[in-house]
Amino acid sequence: MITNTELEKKGNVFPSKITAFTKDVNSYTFTTENGVVLQITILRGELFRFRYSTTGRFANDFSYAINNHYHTSHNQLDMEEDNDYYIITTSKLICKVSKKNLKIKMYDSIDGTLVNQDELGFHWEESYEHGGDIVKMSKVSHDGESYFGLGDKSNNLNLKGKRFENWVTDSYAYGKETDPIYKAIPFYTGLYNKKAYGIFFDNTFRTFFDFAQERRYVTSFWAQGGEMNYYFIYGPKMVDVVKNYTELTGKPKLPPLWALGFHQCKWSYYPESKVKEITSTFRKLQIPCDAIYLDIDYMDGFRCFTWNKDYFPDPKRMVKELADEGFKTVAIIDPGIKIDADYQIFEEGLANDYFCKRADGPYAKGKVWPGECYFPDFTKPEVRKWWAGLFKELIGEIGVRGVWNDMNEPAIMEVPNKTFPHDVRHDYDDNPCSHRKAHNIYGMQMARATYHGVKKFAHPKRPFVITRAAYSGTQRYTSTWTGDNIANWEHLWIANVQVQRLATSGFSFAGSDIGGFAEQPQGELFTRWIQLGAFHPFFRVHSSGDHGEQEPWTFGEDITNIVRKFIELRYQLLPYLYTAFWEYTERGIPLIKSLVMYDQEDVNTHYRIDEFIFGNSILVCPVLEPNAKGRRMFIPRGNWYNYWTDKIEIGGKEIWVEADIDTMPIFIKEGTIIPKYPVQQYVGEKKIEEIVLDVYYKEGVEDSQFFEDLQDGYDYTTGNYCLRTFKLTGRKNQLVIQQHIEGSFKSDSKTFKIQIHGLPFKIETIQLDNKIEAIESVEQNGHLTITVNENFTELDFSAATNKS
């Protein structure tokens, strides 16, 4: 027997002392005595990249996550050293690198306070099983430090005391403790001493995060391969951390406005007569709806890009007739391509060698809905181009308006690990690798290819794509939903948490399967879920046909009326949501904000879960228990108007709010101006000639914005938009609204119907652009109402005692 003691397990290995240092523009490279190399790149004053090598050299610097158009800038960049540290200083951060062991400490450069520090810091373990390193990082976790983000994890918002794994997984009927599930977003925000920082661990291998679970004062992250490569993002505001991360990994483009309307889906609506029955019932009952979905049964034997002509004999005609009624058709496309010599797409993929292969040469085969399938290697540019071209008929000729990518983890049936074996090989954009590295980005690259295909053939309209699997940066291409949930009250709670967490992780365009995918909800649960979903960016009912019907009219007239009420509210709020979406695409500001992001300085928000801010100014708290007549909720600091009663609540405390089945707690921040459309059965149904502005009085100053464009297409990118900024100034006896307009877009609307809430004085005079208006133009309807030209510059309401 031959033994070699050099192959015995070495355990953790650590960097030794620094022996060399070089600088190249905005990068600093440190080399240790035992060959570890640390490269620190300063992208902005608040954003540092840390990249470690244990071999003395780095692999090709390639990432699917990073936005190639990310703009770097740093006004100040200084380097000095003392006996113990190299010290890098920017306008926002001070980074100290230990000469002894490469450990890092990060400080606020303004006040010098500690933001984050290494515990053991970078270390690694040689894995002979995988033939490489397990790379590890551990940092100090302080008393009172909190953690948020990490994508669609189904547990509490605050990650403190939890451990998670990132390995995108088909997780049918998952629960609160199920991990991992559908997405791998290795980014979190830490909050310490009321200051926020973010860490993005850009490593696509199976990764792990421990937030002071194993050791109380340590948080750590590690990967089963690849590099220790992470970005440190400083706020100190939490929203600024998320904004910078979203810009680093890529902001999305504006969706068509209809994509923010209500969507109805089921596994499956077929044949055509059933689809038409559903859509005609929406119009008959006057329940607004913009999109109808076709699940896998529309295909011929589940073959992608085909139609079952028995169910849908003339798809182009059907899609056109649906469009004439205001319904946009969205069709599912999965990654598995059926092995079938008579199937053209299979033959094309085979002829061009587009499918994933095993390490020893044959194509990777797996069973999914069509039976035995091969799978395109979406990490290969020519495969993505081919895939995009396959949408010519579906989108460009038949007229389908959106595509829904499912099963793209990729999910494989009847195998223990639910996906490819590790030895499957991928091109990885000319960086060849195994599935161990490519698994977490496979679904992302499928969504990317789909996006480019839909974008090309929908032109001049905007694309709409949905994905189940995702990695950091996927928000550039697609919306998402939270996967195969269950029709129970726990999953209503989970849906609320997941959408908040995704927004905190840069992925705002998200929603859940309203009502639950598996099993059947009762009317009360469905109603409460619709109420929550009306305030999620992606608003879709979806269910498994095996468990019964789940349309808005399924649960009786009383429930139908309440559901209609909240769908109508969503359509009224579309201009508010669209404005928030524009702000997300321009500035990276999340559409949904957990209370901790809204007010991180109030420690009461750090463990609040149920309440969230929709856009910038609407506070929402879903009812999450059966038989409830109301609930307790936390109102953040400031003054808030009850949406239903106009009663003002002073924030910073928990209160009881009445909320029977036909309502839910909704509050509006004082000083806000909210634009509203009239109720439409679908986006574009009506020529909107007057827009409501709900004005919520505040003693003080507040700004609001309202963005408009053609609601589809790309004219807004060349200036054909209208961005209105409203400045509200409230005094004890005066209310002034000033408007600034930029952009060239002219809408159909000519007037604003201004409704003033909470005005504390009786109006004696109204000045519109310095001209006195007749007092008779004000109506007393429970709130004060006046109609004005939409291009006004200044509107002044004054009491008789005002002398200004």
Q: Which DSSP state fits 395? A: I
What is the Cα–Cα distance from 454 to 631, expressed in whole angstroms? 44
User: Which one, of 716, 168, 711, 252, lies nearest residue 451 by Cα?
Assistant: 252
The tokens describing 751, both together, are 């007037």
Contact predicate 718/743, CB 8 Å: no
Q: How would you class 276 by CB atoms within 10 Å of its CB: exposed for 0-12, middle for 13-18, buried for 19 or more?
A: middle
- The H-or-E segment that residue 450 falls in is helix 435-458
Helix/strand/coil for 730? strand
Q: How would you class 527 by CB atoms within 10 Å of its CB: exposed for 0-12, middle for 13-18, buried for 19 or more?
A: buried
What region does 67 belong to: left with phi over 0, alpha with psi -120 to 50, or beta?
beta
CB count within 10 Å of CB 144 equals 12
The tokens describing 202, both together, are 């850009």
Chain length of the chain: 804
- The H-or-E segment that residue 259 falls in is none
- DSSP-derived pairing of the beta strands 262-264 and 228-234: unpaired
Asked if the peptide bond before residue 313 counts as cis, ω within 30 degrees of 0, the response is no
Contact predicate 551/280, CB 8 Å: no
Using alpha carbons, list the distances in angstroms from residue 775 to 735, 766, 799.
15, 7, 12
Q: Dihedrals φ, ψ of 173, to 5°?
A: 55, 40
What is the Cα–Cα distance from 464 to 333, expressed in whole angstroms? 13
Contact predicate 128/113, CB 8 Å: no
Using alpha carbons, list the distances in angstroms from residue 245 to 186, 232, 590.
11, 9, 11
The tokens describing 257, both together, are 């406005």
The tokens describing 125, both together, are 């373990």
Of the residues 290, 406, 599, 610, only one is catalytic, namely 406
Q: How far is residue 406 CA from its own chain's centroid?
A: 17
Amino acid in the structure at residue 294: L
Q: Which DSSP state fits 170? A: -
DSSP string covering 67-107, please? -TTPPPB-S-EEEEE-SSEEEEEESSEEEEEETTT--EEEE
Asked if the peptide bond before residue 421 counts as cis, ω within 30 degrees of 0, the response is no
Helix/strand/coil for 582? helix
Please report where in the chains the tokens 């999450």 appear, as a residue: 624
Q: Dihedrals φ, ψ of 568, to 5°?
A: -60, -40
Of the residues 227, 484, 513, 702, only one is catalytic, namely 484
**359-368 burial by CB neighbour count: b if 16+ within 10 A, else e?**
eeeebbebeb
The β-bridge partners of 753 are 692, 787
Using alpha carbons, list the distances in angstroms from residue 568 to 443, 495, 666.
34, 21, 15
What is the Cα–Cα distance from 298 to 250, expressed in whole angstroms? 34
Whole-number CA gyration radius for the chain: 28
Active site residue 646: no
The β-bridge partners of 736 are 729, 796
Residue 467 CB partners (closer than 8 Å, separation 6+): 405, 408, 443, 444, 446, 447, 450, 474, 477, 478, 479, 480
Q: Given CA atoms 571, 572, 573, 579 in this order, what sign does their dihedral have? A: positive
Active site residue 484: yes
User: Which one, of 758, 771, 634, lies nearest residue 700 by Cα?
Assistant: 758
Active site residue 202: no
Amino acid in the structure at residue 188: Y
Of the residues 297, 409, 524, 702, only one is catalytic, namely 409
Q: How would you class 339 by CB atoms within 10 Å of its CB: exposed for 0-12, middle for 13-18, buried for 19 or more?
A: middle
Residues belonging to the active site? 406, 409, 484
